[in-house]
Structure 1
Amino acid sequence: MISFFLSDLIKSILNIQDNNISFSEEECCQVTQKGDYLLKVFKGFLKSDYCTCPHCSSKNIVKNGSRHRKIKYIPIQNYNIELELTVQRYICKDCKKNFSPSTNIVSDNSSISNNLKYAIALELQKNISLTSIAKRYNISIPSVQRIMDNCYSDFKVNKKHLPEAICIDEFKSVKNIDGAMSFVFADYQSKSIIDIVEDRRLHSLTEYFSRFSLEARNNVKYICMDMYTSYISLVNSIFPNAKIVLDKFHIVNLVNRAFNQTRISIMNSIQDDSLKRKFKLFWKSLLKYYPDLCQINYYCQSFKRKLSSKLSLRKKP
């Protein structure tokens, strides 16, 4: 016996808006232990009053048994939810083909409800790994990957096009990757990330960019990067028309590091302790652009008198 009140209540809880689905009053819900979690199974029926065959439009159709579909739903209060539908089957006596009614709560040949797919699509917008999402909703990682590919197809990298100017760099991403650093490259004009590669080593990047068409790689004219040796080798082998543009930050950083090494080398060769101490104390002033040095006098302990930044650098020991 079907209780319309109970059936409507379950449909309201599960957000089911298909009028062809109903629930029985007897054994409509079962709770079972499945591995490390509790599973609530709602048992329902999916029927449809077919008038004609969807294949040949014949009216000579009859019922032909039923089949069971198990559909995963969004977990509720630490319970994993599963809908077990008994689906009516039909057969056409003219074309001999079997068919069953469809429902708007799940795609044909899928075991994941549309509501669950939508919830996972929202989770994918957050800073959460695919593994965590799969564990939270009790589905496989490949299933999460397929949902991401279907819902965010616009984010797939076009292997037949690359912008004229791209920026490449590395960053520390996650622990369970092959290399120590991951690789990211972006469109210089739009400032948008094109893709992220988990390994920045040369063989991995060569394999990745080889998937792009030769026309796309020839279209790249400028690549902004640091002075990492593997990147230079990558550009020379994969992007024949590209010119390397070194990031000014890394150039300034290299000059500063070389200048400091020279300063320390000279400082260590000086026998006069007083002068050696001045090389150590005024290292910031030595790195400044001379016109930007402060001209306001202040008392300098090293020289025992009032000096400005400019005078302190020009003052002989």
Structure 2
Amino acid sequence: MAKLALCLALVALLSCAAVAKVNVNLTDKLVDLIKKKTLEPFVEELQREDMDVNQPDSKGRLPLIEAVRTKEVKLVDALLQYGALAKSKDPATGASPLHVAFQQNLPQIARMLLQYGADINVEDKAGKKAREFAPSKDIRDLIVAYDADGAMAFEDAPGTWTKQNKDAKEDYWFNSKTGESRWNLPPSCAWQRVDSQGHPIKYVNAVTGQEVATVPPSLAWSKLRAEGKEIWYNWRLNVSQFEKPQEVPAAMMAEIEKNMNVRWHNEKTGEFSWIDPAYRTPWRELHDDEHKKPYWFNVETGESVWDMPEAMAWTKVKDDGSGQHYFFNRLTSDSTWEAPQHLAWVRHDSDL
């Protein structure tokens, strides 16, 4: 049995070595095509099922970094579309593709890398962050935008990409503004909502890995009926369209269509809201099954507490005698018939 196990282990080891050798050979060819800047055979090579675009070649060179060095936008874009990791690092120097793009003052390529999740604060082996290389105003502007919104700052506007299947065996994505087509999921179409116990906790981008606590623009759609016509309204960007947005995941889309025209009005402040006012606070009330009691989770800080935050203290209660609602503070036991400002919201679902 011991000899058999040893033989099997050797076979597995040799198989892994053979696969690694094949991958390195493929990457050698890929890097060679990058150096020659020959797009068509380069893309054909990318389509091989056994191609690993994140495998360094025999000289330790990463295809994405080599593509950035050529300054050819189409080569970089093709690699990113076929799964090259924008957060990858040069094995020798620890430099990321973004380091190279910043150093060579390539704002268009840098923007593309940031769109696919490149980390502006990543350090190379010398301890230098990509953001420390800012040779031009264009690069500095990218840094400012990233600091404000992360990778989301570089996404295409909602409604830009539509899913198509015309004369194709599989779905593909079409950019209505540029006429570009691609098979892979554009970052602006890769957002998913993460729920816990029926409450939205965060939004995660499957392409860039970015996580945010507030609704990203790509998902900020409401379906409305105005003057007898159905329209889609993006309340983050204040734009509307007749076409159904295709960035929204199926489960969220079903909710939006079910809640047509729904919006809220605060009778004290006059403010309108397109999201449930219950989620205007970062706190979520959840239940701990082990301890059999509630706790509160802050979606912005990640903090969990057993003690009720003040922001969650007031609740709306129906009076059994009169049938009317009053407001009760669960921390102080105060009660009032008049709604506190943050609870003075009234739901509307009439046509606009």
Smaller-chain TM-score bracket: under 0.3
TM-score normalised to the size of structure 1? 0.25
Question: Counting strand residues as a fraction of each chain, which structure ranks higher?
Answer: 1
TM-score normalised to the size of structure 2? 0.23
